[in-house]
A and B are shown apart, each in its own frame.
Chain A
Amino acid sequence: MEGIDADAVARARAGDREAFRELVERHSRRVFRLAYRLTGVEEDAEDVVQETFLRAYRGLPRFDERSEFSTWLYRIATNCSIDLTRRKPRRVDRVEPLEESRLAAAEASDSLAGPERQALASETGRRVAAALTRLSPMERTAFVLRHFEGRPIAEIAQTLQVRAGAAKNCVFRAVSKLRRELVPIATEPQ
């Protein structure tokens, strides 16, 4: 492991709590962002952040220093999020179909004025968030990691502890469901 985390990780492994504090303060916001995207609920994301660092602290003796600390940490956060989502009943938001006029506006969004475009973007964001709640935990995780976090399929498979083929299938199912839900927003691929 190289980079800014290496020294702090080595000291934390030796029992230096201040070093672990550095890591917590450095990574909390990114872990929260990932957890929020995976759980969709702020309170749940907060719980995941805390649980992630508690697990990371306990797992430090097993951490392979050849790996990147941040990658390892985000893997823990992903698993915490999946566990939490599975334990809690999911709130599924209904995706309302867009009105004809809004659909036309979505197709011509480039020509909209600033505030109108912003309102449309906000509506689109709500619909995407609602559509994501309809995915299973594995589908949602695979999609978020690939599409929003830009993680390669191989890494997603490792995180989900499945083969690459199964990770791809999770992503395909997610995209297929999202297409059914969101096609009015975007142009449907033929």
Chain B
Amino acid sequence: MRHASDEELILLAWGEPTRSDAHAGSCVRCQLRLSRMREFLDGIQAPPFPEKDEAYGREVWRRIAPRLADRPRSTGRALFAPASFLRAAAILALVLGAFLIGRVTSRRAGQPISAPVRERILLVAVGDHLERSEVVLLDFVNSDSPAGVTERARDLLANNRLYRQTAARSGDPTVAGVLDELERVLIEMAHGPLSPESREGLRRRIETEGVLFKIHVLDTRVRAGENALSQPGTRS
């Protein structure tokens, strides 16, 4: 008899199917835990939001109408469209390089972006990279045939190299070490379809070496730094 895990209880509380449906339906202990989980989740009510009246739609139209082309076109992308992420990451990497060079050489007048702003840009970019990497690795570990993992790993690989090299140059061996471990995993994933044995071997490696945990810890650290820099009164 296997009791429902916390994760399964969360899904059950929301009415999502799990492998424990049948067991949880007949087990008194699981029923009790499920009712407590429901109680907890029911307690999380959506925060109130600013009400918009009937005229809001007209207001939105008034704002966007001048920006619409005569006919819908598939060309042209917004500045923060997802597809521009890689290009943006490359630009950020350049900014990052400039920032780090700036740290080791004398400060010169006329720098277009202040150091804290550059640092914040860097932290946001690295945080996003770590979170995307975590999602890809989770996909790989949790699925028998993860779709698009090869391509996603390749996309991440280029940025990872830049961040790792930069971290190594800036004298942060911990960050460089985690990114190095991540890179070795990404390289294997990017090499294309893996045999079932290789996939299992890589999964075991990710688990035994705690790669996901290390990425998560580093991500949390980076986010904390990002948040500290965004607090009012932080050095500017």
Contacts and interface: CB of A to CB of B under 8 A. Distances in A.
A60 B60 contact: no
Interface string B67-79: 1111111111110
B57 A24 contact: yes
Nearest to A153: B16
A128 B47 contact: yes
Contacts, number: 185
Contact of A189 (B9, B65, B138): B9
A54 B39 contact: no
A148 B33 contact: no
A-side interface size class:
35 or more
A99 B212 CA distance: 37
A97 interface: no
B57 A187 contact: no
Contacts of A137: 131
Contact of A163 (B9, B33, B146): B146
Interface in B79-101: 80-82
A188 B63 CA distance: 46
Contact of A129 (B11, B47, B138): B47
The main secondary structure of chain A at its interface with chain B is helix
A187 B60 contact: no
Contacts of A179: 40
A10 to B, nearest CB: 12
A168 B92 CA distance: 30
Interface of A: 12-13, 15, 17, 20-21, 24-29, 32-33, 36-37, 40, 42, 49-51, 53-55, 57-62, 79-80, 83-84, 86-87, 89-92, 121-122, 124-126, 128-129, 132, 136-138, 146-148, 152-153, 160, 162-163, 165-166, 168-172, 175-176, 178-179, 182-183, 185-190
Interface of B: 6-7, 9-11, 14, 16, 32-33, 36-37, 39-50, 52, 56-61, 63-65, 67-78, 80-82, 120, 124, 127-128, 131, 135, 138-139, 141-143, 146-147, 219, 223, 226-227, 229-231
